[in-house]
């Protein structure tokens, strides 16, 4: 197919997708108008049409301009509409009673403030590139608010066609079934089938079916369709034939009840923040469904500009719709700007020329559309999330829904955030505060010593308890740490001499946790042990300065430094210091004596001399006779980072004897040192001439490596 013909085939699909999107946008705008005004100020429903269609028109223009960058269809959002419907109901119930003109003025002012505030908040967030941070609102709060929105949509949908206190006879009457029960059940069935059976049912076709059934019921009822038009089955009773969109008049504000308006301002400002959050959730869903990266900050700026302009015209909040955008892409995958143009023109045409004929629209159709939105929110934000929610999350969501229904959105959000914070605190306190718990027998410093020294540390290591802490320290976690450390002290089979607390992975501390750590330090000393801390947090350092009492007996920058200090202390009490490994040294002497042509020369090294460098080809290993060597690897900014040190008796580089791989690190003399070299050529000669001695030497090397691996494995299992 040629590009010209291929493009021609896209045009009908694009126009069809645009028409469907425009019709859906229009009918939701009509539904939202009824939702806000039907009970509070029914005579002002034509003004409600202006509020919804003017906001949608501004959004349509922005959608057309930004199409090639965002590919999104925009529409008015139920989050704002449901909140405004609740505010409108409270205006209508105000004492003393207000006139319909005053209620209409209040609703119009509320819409303008909510939309303009939403636009301003979005512009600020977009310009400061903070969109990703707004998404950090606790999920139970978001879920609770959107679940409450779904419940309110269902309640308000029923309220459009049912009397305020219906009895069973009224609920089961044929007219009621046609207007409310059947469309509500159909909407719920579509959501359930889509979510749990993967069955896609076209919403436009279902809406057409609802309208068709309503016309059939009306045709076969007493008096036929003419009588049905005035029975409440159609919108004729609320929007008489010939009604047109009505522009708001300044005369409405002559007796404006400012005090009543100011009472709801906090709720309107909360709407701005929640609208921003709702839009970001829509954008995230659109990003997943389209499998492309969405520039959140740019989209937020576009929505901010649109709503700021819409607020000036009295329009309602509108922004990118993930659902309509996905539907449009399914119908016309490669659509160009013609799609949003068609959708926008369709919506404008319905608003300008279709409103006079709304009298013929079945009330059940409005109920169906609102119920579909309500069930969709319930399924997406509550039912589908139940397997992942904790009991605390569920309680938070239920409380938010209840407060929203019984009181106000602002109080619901405040209580929801408080409950989410409490639930997080309780959950966090149950997380393990210890990244690892071990003893000096298992966890060692990176200092390599002689086999004799390692045996001594194996025997004395149980007297050192080592705790690596993690996360945020607050009263709950530190109290548990206090109890467990005391329990370890009391149940130890040997007398504990040192307790090491490593704070390197601690993210922060609060005041009560700091005081509990001080209390733990006193308890450790009372048990005859010394407390050693590493990477002491600033809060504990400040408490130490203010209290005039040292929290720890010794403090080090790193855990490795603390372990090295304890090991040196233990060895110093048992022996004068590290000595060359007599086992391997004796064997090397015997090999030199008994095997002609094999020698292991000693080399004097000045401090700073490299024994070998990272990447060098392997050439045997060395034994440290005196002094100290260190292993270095390249760190950030090209700086050398010490990863191990070697004292007399340590064997360095023996891994290469088994693997043949190049040197993985640079080994350098930290002090003046003497090493005994065991070159690869000597090892090869030894294997040929005296395989028994070669096997004995390799056995010693293997045992040293196995002991090191055993300690590493034990350390991993101790975490």
DSSP letter at 360?
G
Which tokens is 181 given? 């029960």
pLDDT at 115 over 60: yes
**What pLDDT does residue 582 have?**
54
Q: Which domain holds residue 634?
A: 582-717
Q: How far is CA 534 from the centre of its chain?
A: 31
Confidence of residue 288 (pLDDT cuts 50, 70, 90): low
141 in Cβ contact with 270 (< 8 Å): no
CB 70 within 8 A of CB 294: yes
Select from 472, 397, 394, 489 the least CA-distant residue to 433: 472
Which pLDDT belongs to residue 548? 61
Nearest one of 114, 63, 137 to 319, comparing CA atoms = 63
DSSP 8-class letter at 350: I
> Residue 385 has which token pair?
């999330």
Provide the pLDDT for residue 326.
72
At 538-556, the pLDDT tens digits run: 877 776 666 666 788 899 9
Could you tell me if 143 and 205 lie in one domain?
A: yes
Per-residue pLDDT tens over the stretch 193-214: 888 877 877 788 888 888 888 8
Q: What single-letter DSSP state applies at residue 430? A: T
Asked if 468 contacts 436 with a C-beta cutoff of 8 angstroms, the reply is yes
**Does one domain contain both 360 and 415?**
yes
Domain's final residue, options 369, 400, 425: 425
Please give the helix or strand (H or E) that residue 500 lies within, else none.
Answer: strand 498-509
Does 458 lie in the same domain as 413?
no
641 φ/ψ angles, rounded to the nearest 5 degrees:
-115, 125
Q: 31 and 369 in contact (C-beta within 8 Å)? A: yes
Going edge to edge, which strands form the sheet with 602-605?
602-605, 673-678, 621-626, 651-652
For strands 554-556 and 530-534, give the pairing: parallel
Q: Would 168 be classed as within a structural domain?
A: yes
| C-alpha–C-alpha distance, residues 488 and 154, integer Å | 58
DSSP string, 13-58: HHHHHHHHHHHHHHHHHHHHHHHHHTTT-GGGHHHHHHHHHHHHHH
Residue 2 domain-assigned (yes or no)? no
Question: Residue 7 pLDDT > 50, yes or no?
Answer: no
> Both 491 and 536 in a single domain?
yes
Say if residues 605 and 674 touch (Cβ distance below 8 Å). Answer: yes
Same domain, 172 and 238: yes
- Asked if residue 430 belongs to a domain, the reply is no
Measured between alpha carbons, how far is 496 from 489 in angstroms, rounded to an integer?
Answer: 7
CATH number at residue 691: 2.60.120.10
Please say if the pLDDT value at position 289 is more than 70: no
176, 117, 460: which is closest to 312 by C-alpha? 117
pLDDT 10s digits, 649-699: 888 988 888 888 888 889 999 999 999 999 999 999 999 999 999 999 988
Interacting residues of 351 by C-beta distance below 8 A, sequence separation 6+:
26, 29, 49, 53, 56, 57, 245
What is the pLDDT confidence band of residue 1, given thresholds at 50, 70 and 90?
A: very low
Tell me, yes or no, whether 113 and 218 share the same domain: yes
User: Which are the contacts of 194, defined by CB distance < 8 A and separation ≥ 6?
Assistant: 200, 201
Q: Do 711 and 457 form a contact (C-beta atoms < 8 A)?
A: no
Please tell me the distance from the alpha carbon of residue 459 to that of residue 469, in angstroms, as a whole number: 25
Give strand pairing partners of 530: 498
One domain, residues 70 and 108: yes
Bridge pairing between strands 673-678 and 621-626: antiparallel
What percent of the chain has pLDDT above 70? Answer: 91
User: At which of 425, 452, 468 does a domain end?
Assistant: 425
Give the number of domains in the chain. Answer: 3
Report whether pLDDT(306) > 90: yes
pLDDT of residue 534: 92
pLDDT of 144 > 90? The answer is no
Flag whether 358 is in a domain: yes
329 lies in some domain? yes
Cis peptide preceding 96, ω within 30 of 0: yes
Which of 72-81, 293-302, 494-503 is predicted most confidently? 494-503
pLDDT, tens digit (0-9, with 9 covering 90-100), for 642-662 = 888 898 888 898 888 888 888
Looking at the structure, do residues 418 and 447 belong to the same domain, yes or no? no
Residue 3 lies in a domain: no
Mean pLDDT over 593-609 rounds to 91
CB atoms within 10 A of CB 237: 14
SS3 state of residue 498: strand
Q: Distances from the Cα of 165 to the Cαs of 38, 560, 667, in angstroms?
A: 16, 74, 86
Of 556, 574, 592, which closes a domain? Answer: 574
Give the residue from 422, 380, 402, 448 showing the smallest Cα distance to 78: 380
Give the mean model confidence (pLDDT) for residues 251-260: 89
CA distance linking residue 462 with residue 637, whole number of Å = 39
Residue 570 and residue 536 share a domain: yes
Q: Which residue has the higher pLDDT, 365 or 582?
A: 365
Q: Is it the case that residue 712 has pLDDT exceeding 70?
A: no
The CA–CA distances, whole Å, from 84 to 108, 267, 407 equal 10, 9, 14
Residue (of 594, 156, 165) closest to 405 by Cα position: 156
Does residue 604 surpass a pLDDT of 90? yes
Judged against a pLDDT cut of 80, whether residue 22 lies above it is answered with yes
Cα distance between the two ends of the chain: 64
Q: Report the CATH number at residue 474.
A: 3.30.750.24
Q: How far is CA 633 from CA 150, 444, 445, 599, in A?
A: 58, 20, 17, 31
- pLDDT at residue number 165: 57
Residues 86 and 225 in one domain: yes
How many other C-beta atoms can be found within 10 angstroms of the C-beta atom of residue 688?
9
Are 319 and 275 in contact by the 8 Å Cβ rule? The answer is yes
DSSP string, 634-661: E-GGG-EEEEEEE-TT-EESTHHHHH-P
Say if residue 167's pLDDT is above 70: no
The Cα–Cα gap between 699 and 450 comes to 16
Alpha helix positions (H), 575-649: 582-594
In a domain, 1, yes or no: no
Residues 159 and 281 in one domain: yes
Same domain, 353 and 403: yes
């Amino acid at each position: 197919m040629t590009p010209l013909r291929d493009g021609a085939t896209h045009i009908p699909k694009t126009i069809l997708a645009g028409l469907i999107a425009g019709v859906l946008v229009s009918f939701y705008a009509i539904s939202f108008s009824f939702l806000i005004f039907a009970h509070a100020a029914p005579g002002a429903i034509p003004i409600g049409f202006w509020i919804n269609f003017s906001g949608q028109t501004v959004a349509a223009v922005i959608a057309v301009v930004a199409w090639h960058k965002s590919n999104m269809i925009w529409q008015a959002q139920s989050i704002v509409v449901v909140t405004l419907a609740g505010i409108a109901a409270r205006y209508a119930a105000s004492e003393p009673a207000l006139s319909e003109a005053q209620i209409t003025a209040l609703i119009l002012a509320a819409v303008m403030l909510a939309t303009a505030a939403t636009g301003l908040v979005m512009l600020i967030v977009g310009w400061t590139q903070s969109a990703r941070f707004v998404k950090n609102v606790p999920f139970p709060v978001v879920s609770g608010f959107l679940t409450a929105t779904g419940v309110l949509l269902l309640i308000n949908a029923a309220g459009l066609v049912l009397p305020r206190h219906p009895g069973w006879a009224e609920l089961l009457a044929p007219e009621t079934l046609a207007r409310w029960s059947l469309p509500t059940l159909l909407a719920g069935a579509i959501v359930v089938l889509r979510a749990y059976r993967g069955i896609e049912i076209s919403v436009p076709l279902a809406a057409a079916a609802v309208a068709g059934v309503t016309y059939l019921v009306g045709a076969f009822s007493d008096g036929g369709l003419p009588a049905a038009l005035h029975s409440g089955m159609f919108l004729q009773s609320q929007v008489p034939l010939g009604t047109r969109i009505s522009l708001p008049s300044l005369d409405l504000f002559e007796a404006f009840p400012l005090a009543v308006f100011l009472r709801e301002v906090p709720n309107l400002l909360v709407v701005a923040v929640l609208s921003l959050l709702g839009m970001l959730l829509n954008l995230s869903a659109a990003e997943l469904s389209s499998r492309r990266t969405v520039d959140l900050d740019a989209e937020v700026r576009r929505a901010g500009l649109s709503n700021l302009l819409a607020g000036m015209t009295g329009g309602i909040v509108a922004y990118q719709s993930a659902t309509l955008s996905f539907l449009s892409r399914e119908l016309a995958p490669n659509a160009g700007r013609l799609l949003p143009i068609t959708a926008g023109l369709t919506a404008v045409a319905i608003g300008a020329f279709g409103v006079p004929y709304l009298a013929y629209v079945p009330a059940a159709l409005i109920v169906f559309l609102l119920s579909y939105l309500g069930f969709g929110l319930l399924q997406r934000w509550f039912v589908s999330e139940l397997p992942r929610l904790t009991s605390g999350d569920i309680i938070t969501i239920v409380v938010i829904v209840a407060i929203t229904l019984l009181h106000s959105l602002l109080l619901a959000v405040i209580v929801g955030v408080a409950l989410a914070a409490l639930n997080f605190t309780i959950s966090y306190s149950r997380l393990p505060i210890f990244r690892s718990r071990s003893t000096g027998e298992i966890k060692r410093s990176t200092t390599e010593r002689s086999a004799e020294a390692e045996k001594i540390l194996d025997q004395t290591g149980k007297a050192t308890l080592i705790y690596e802490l993690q996360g945020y320290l607050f009263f709950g976690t530190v109290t548990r740490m206090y109890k467990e450390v005391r329990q370890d002290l009391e149940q130890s089979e040997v007398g504990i001499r040192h307790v090491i607390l490593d704070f390197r992975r601690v993210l922060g501390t609060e005041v009560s946790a700091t005081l509990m750590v001080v209390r733990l330090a006193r308890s450790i000393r009372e048990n005859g042990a010394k407390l050693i801390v590493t990477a002491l947090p600033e809060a504990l350092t400040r408490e130490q300065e203010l209290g005039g009492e040292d929290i720890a007996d010794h403090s080090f920058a790193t855990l490795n430094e603390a372990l090295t200090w304890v090991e040196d202390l233990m060895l110093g009490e048992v022996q004068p210091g590290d000595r060359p490994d007599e086992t391997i040294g004796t064997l090397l002497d015997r090999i030199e004596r008994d095997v002609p042509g094999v020698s292991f020369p000693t080399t004097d090294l000045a401090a700073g001399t490299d024994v070998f460098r990272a990447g060098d080809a392997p050439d045997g290993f060395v034994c440290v006779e005196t002094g100290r060597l260190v292993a270095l690897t390249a760190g950030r900014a090209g700086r050398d980072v010490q990863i191990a040190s070697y004292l007399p008796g340590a064997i360095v580089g023996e891994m290469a004897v088994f693997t043949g791989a190049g040197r993985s690190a640079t080994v350098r003399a930290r002090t003046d040192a003497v090493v005994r070299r065991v070159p690869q050529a000597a090892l090869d000669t030894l294997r040929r001439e005296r395989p028994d001695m070669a096997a004995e030497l390799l056995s010693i090397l293997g045992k040293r490596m196995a002991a090191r691996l055993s300690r590493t494995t034990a350390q991993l299992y101790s975490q």
